[in-house]
């Protein structure tokens, strides 16, 4: 997540730094994360990836997820970004999408996978918003329909990225999806995420048979020359 020098205010308007300024120092940090993820999966295919966090929604998980999806698409990959946060979805805010259909409607058979995909204005990046928030997100994510959707998506895309709900300490959604994805990335926030929470989240993901690819340290202040910038490292 990119922060300015003024106090951060929660807002539904999210800016994709990797889209609006792909040569900025922060965008370069996202590209470094992309490279590190590719190296971490050198012994196996990385066709699906889940991004989660360990704390309430203030670690920048969804912004990190969206920006990583952008830099993978900028590399020439065909990417599908899925909002699997069926408790507090945000992808439709980030990309200004209609959220009346999406992942939830596909899983219950209300719409087809193809009908619910939206092409972004970034070449190579398609989007599947959450859709209507269901009363039973964990059951939907753990269903056979979810497995079929991922299989279908993996045939059409080079990389499928899931944004899952925080905190993994309170809900099982991330653990369920981790069992069918090729890898997991956890986002933590500098000077905010507690070490014990991050360790417990890691342990829970491992119980779900997750392959932890790495951790993104978000919002760390870095000094470069005479100015500071914030980024994901």
3-state secondary structure 174-227: HHHHHCCCCEEEEEEECCCCCHHHHHHHHHHHHHCCCCEEEEEEECEEEEECCE
What pLDDT sits at residue 170? 66
Res 135: pLDDT: 92
- Res. 36: pLDDT tops 60: yes
Q: What is the pLDDT of residue 1?
A: 38
- What span, in angstroms and rounded, lies between the C-alpha atoms of 232 and 26? 7
Give 115-147 pLDDT, tens digit per residue. Answer: 999 999 999 999 999 999 999 999 999 999 999
Nearest alpha-carbon partner for 195 in 61, 65, 54:
54
Architecture per CATH, 26-231 = 3-Layer(aba) Sandwich (3.40)
Whose tokens are 């590399």? That residue is: 75
* Strands 79-83, 125-128: pairing kind: parallel
Q: Where in the chain are the domains? A: 26-231
Rounded to two decimals, the pTM is 0.86
Q: Among 24-28, 56-60, 191-195, whose mean pLDDT is lowest?
A: 56-60
Residue 86 near residue 104 (C-beta atoms within 8 A) = yes
Cα-Cα-Cα-Cα torsion 151, 157, 159, 164, nearest 10 degrees, comes to: -60
Q: Which two tokens stand for residue 222?
A: 């870095």
How far is 188 from 10, CA to CA, in rounded Å?
Answer: 18
The whole-angstrom separation of Cα 49 and Cα 177 is 9
- Segment 49-75 mean pLDDT: 88
Report the C-alpha gap between 79 and 123 in whole angstroms.
9
pLDDT confidence band for 5 (50 / 70 / 90): very low
User: What's the mean pLDDT in 56-69?
Assistant: 85
pLDDT, residue 223, reads 59
Distance CA 52, CA 168 (A): 7
How far apart, in Å, are the Cα atoms of 161 and each of 5, 57, 95, 143, 194? 30, 18, 15, 18, 26
In angstroms, rounded to a whole number, what is the distance separating the alpha carbons of residues 80 and 156? Answer: 9
Which of 37, 38, 33, 40 is closest to 18 using CA atoms?
33
- At 70, list the tokens: 């952008």
**Residue 47 tokens, joined:** 């066709």
User: Cα(89)–Cα(74) distance, rounded to whole angstroms?
Assistant: 24
């Amino acid at each position: 997540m990119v922060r300015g020098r003024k106090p951060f205010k929660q807002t539904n308007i999210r800016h994709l730094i990797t889209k609006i300024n792909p040569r900025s120092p922060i965008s370069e940090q996202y590209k470094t994360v992309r490279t590190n993820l590719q190296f971490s999966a050198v012994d196996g295919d990385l066709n699906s990836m889940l991004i989660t966090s360990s704390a309430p929604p203030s670690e920048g998980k969804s912004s990190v997820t969206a920006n990583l999806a952008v830099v993978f698409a900028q590399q020439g990959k065909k990417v599908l970004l899925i909002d699997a946060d069926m408790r507090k979805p945000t992808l439709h805010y980030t990309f200004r999408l209609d959220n009346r259909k999406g992942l939830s409607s596909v899983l219950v058979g209300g719409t087809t996978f193809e009908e619910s995909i939206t092409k972004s204005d970034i070449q190579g990046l398609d989007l599947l918003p959450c859709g209507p928030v269901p009363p039973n997100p964990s059951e939907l994510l753990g269903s056979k329909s979810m497995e079929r959707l991922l299989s279908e998506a993996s045939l059409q895309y080079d990389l499928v990225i899931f944004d899952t709900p925080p905190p993994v300490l309170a809900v099982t959604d991330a653990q369920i999806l981790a069992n069918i994805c090729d890898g997991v990335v956890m986002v933590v926030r500098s000077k905010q995420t507690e070490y014990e929470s991050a360790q417990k989240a890691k342990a829970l993901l491992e119980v779900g048979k997750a392959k932890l690819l790495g951790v993104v340290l978000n919002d760390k202040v870095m000094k470069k020359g005479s100015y500071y910038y914030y980024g994901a490292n």
